Amino acid sequence: EAGVAQSPRYKIIEKRQSVAFWCNPISGHATLYWYQQILGQGPKLLIQFQNNGVVDDSQLPKDRFSAERLKGVDSTLKIQPAKLEDSAVYLCASSPNQWGKGNTEAFFGQGTRLTVV
């Protein structure tokens, strides 16, 4: 079974520029998560999708971050404009669980390391 695919692996941008990350979850997984992992910290949930609908975006800085999941499959996360404090690894994860059913085994991609200079 193919894992969660993310691209690019690395990205360096200047502050105030925009950047986009792409995620292809495991086939058939209904739930998709975007996490931000700052160096030395645990992952922090930014947004959670169930199919193509948002079920939790309470920690997403909506003035600069946006995300979408087209047709309930692939997802993109965008930052515009980027700040220095956005430097982190952005992890995408997917889970086979339907909202409200079952436990929560999340499968993670390798992440995109963003450096804002």
Partner 1 sequence: QQQVKQSPQSLIVQKGGIPIINCAYENTAFDYFPWYQQFPGKGPALLIAIRPDVSEKKEGRFTISFNKSAKQFSLHIMDSQPGDSATYFCAASRPPAAGNKLTFGGGTRVLVKP
Q: Which residues bind partner 1 (CB under 8 A)?
A: 4, 31, 33, 35, 40-45, 48, 50, 55-56, 91, 93, 95, 97, 99-111
Nearer to partner 1, 21 or 80 (CB): 21
Q: How far is the CB of 26 from partner 1 (least distance, A)?
A: 12
Minimum gap (Å) between residue 81 Cβ and partner 1: 26
Compute the C-alpha angle 114/43/58, nearest 5°. Answer: 95
Q: What is the rounded CA–CA span in Å between residue 14 and residue 18?
A: 9
Between 27 and 59, CB nearer to partner 1: 59
Neighbours of 56 (CB within 10 A): 14
